[in-house]
Each structure stands twice: as structure tokens, then as C-alpha cells.
Amino acid sequence: MSGHSLLISWQLKDKNVLIVGGGEIAAQRIDSILHTEAQITLVAPSDGLNSRTKQFVASHPDRISYHDRLFSGVDELKNIDMVLTALDDPEVSREIVDICRTFRIPVNAADIPPLCDFYFGAQIRDGPLQIMISTNGKGPRMASLIRDRLQKGLTGIEGGAIQKVGELRELLKERAPGIGGEVGKKRMKWMTKLCNTWSLEELAMLDKETMSKLLDQGWKQNAVPTLKDIGGRPRHDVDKARTGDSFVFSKQVFFASVIGIMTGSLCTAYLMAVRRQ
């Protein structure tokens, strides 16, 4: 099936992002980019800034460089790595997109999907966990509805569990350093087995002492002990989450996934039909 986008995690830390416009869409873009630790250049007349955009500018002077003016042309793109237009005027957006194409700068033009190099999907954020739902520009509201269904199915411990697993991986790399090769394969295999064996609730309970025991009794012995094996004990609320919420989570994720697949299929079919005309 063709017509789908490549979903990737784009690392924008210390990159420079230009946002043109100051309304609600611009505020949404600013909010998204602030999470990436990129530097933001905002170009928009002050009388076009909404309250949320003004608040972002005032509260993040170290991250947002604001210029009270209209987009002036190619000079705005110097040292810029990404451009986001959030304008009511489609002609100005098209002009900006054309300039970006000339300099091979990735660009997103709000509400004009055919001009976009990439789309903004509906997202769920929980610490290191990010989940994005994309309809490839066909139904933003549908993406939000599906996101809300998925959000209700999460227990609230997923981000914490991922954070703990990341900390354990770093400790393991200190004990068994090296990139690639046999040691890299062994680390990956052991971590995979651990994640498959331990529940999310148990992983979220990892602390320095438990991690040390895991590495001593597990990694060194080429085994994956259970939480009970290393003297750990599940909390009452963890047991409740595992027995009560896990089934609800699985069921909701299943139905939300089905809806997402159906939505994507319909959108792709529509796109292919339009292209044939």
C-alpha cells in the first residue's frame, strides 16, 4: 500500500526552527518545538499574536527569538534548519515553501497538506514515551479522537518504566562497553528478554539497588531473574494495575489500532483516487 508517510523521531536539539505566524496554530507549533530543545525564530506582526503565543515569547526568551514584522524573504532562512508556516494567507505560505524548496529546507505549511514535507500528528507524551497518530494530513480531528482513545488506555506508568529501562541500559553499557559486535548483540538480547519477562509495573519499580542486583545475578549469569528472585516485592497498587487495568488497556489499544488502520486505509484510497483523476 502506497501513500503513507515515514514516521520518524526527528532530533531537533540545538537546531534552528523558523515559525512564521502568531495565531493559535503558531502557538501549537511553538509548544511542540519547545519539547525538542530546538531554538525558535518567530516572525509575525505583534498585532497578530494571540495570548498563548505572547505567553510563550515572554516565558522563553532564551529559546524564542521574536521579530515583530512580516516575513521578508530569503534572508529569513539564514542558518535555519526547518520552517513552519502558520498563516491565513495561502499565497504567502506557497511563496515561503517555494523558497524553502530552493534551499532544501524541510517545511510544513499549516492547512495545505500538498505543500508539506512532513505533518504534525496528534501526540501522547509521557516522559521519554512519545506516541504519534498521523492521518497524513487527511483528518487531523480523527487523529485527535484516536489519540484520546489510546490515552484512556494507558495506565500512567509507561513513561516511568521506559525511563528506568533507559537507566538500566546505561549501567549495562558501563559494565559491558562497546558498540556493535558480539557484546552489543548480547546486551540487546538480554535487555529484550528482560523487557519481555518483567511487566511494565515491575520495570517502573526499578531503583539503583534493584538494577545492581539484576546486573549481578542476571547479566553476569546470562540469565533474567524475576523481581522475586532478587528480593523485590510488587506493591499492592502495582498488582491492582496489572490485574485490573491491563485487560482494559489491551482492549482499548486493539480497538483504537483497528480504527487507526481503517482511517489510514481510507485516506490512502482517497489519495490514490484523486491522483488517478
| Active site (annotated) includes residue 111 | yes
Q: Which residues contact 95 (CB under 8 A, 6 or more apart)?
A: none
- Contact by Cβ (8 Å): 43, 19: yes
Partners of 133 in the beta sheet? 122
Partners of 108 in the beta sheet? 84
> How far, in Å, CA of 34 to CA of 109, rounded?
19
**Backbone torsions φ then ψ of 31, nearest 5 degrees:** -60, -45
Q: Cell digits for 46?
A: 505583534
Return the amino acid letter for 229. D
Q: How far is CA 222 from CA 180, 215, 217, in A?
A: 18, 9, 8
Residue linked to cell 497578530: 48
**Among 105, 115, 140, 108, which Cα is nearest to 21's?**
108
> How far, in Å, CA of 89 to CA of 79, rounded?
25
Convert 44-80 into a string of H (helix), E (strand) and C (coil).
CCHHHCCHHHHHHHHHCCCCEEEECCCCCCHHHHCCC
> How far, in Å, CA of 16 to CA of 13, rounded?
9
> How far, in Å, CA of 117 to CA of 35, rounded?
20
Exactly one of 81, 111, 117, 245 is catalytic; which is it?
111
Q: Mutual orientation of helices 181-197 and 158-175 as an angle, nearest 10°? A: 150
Catalytic positions:
111
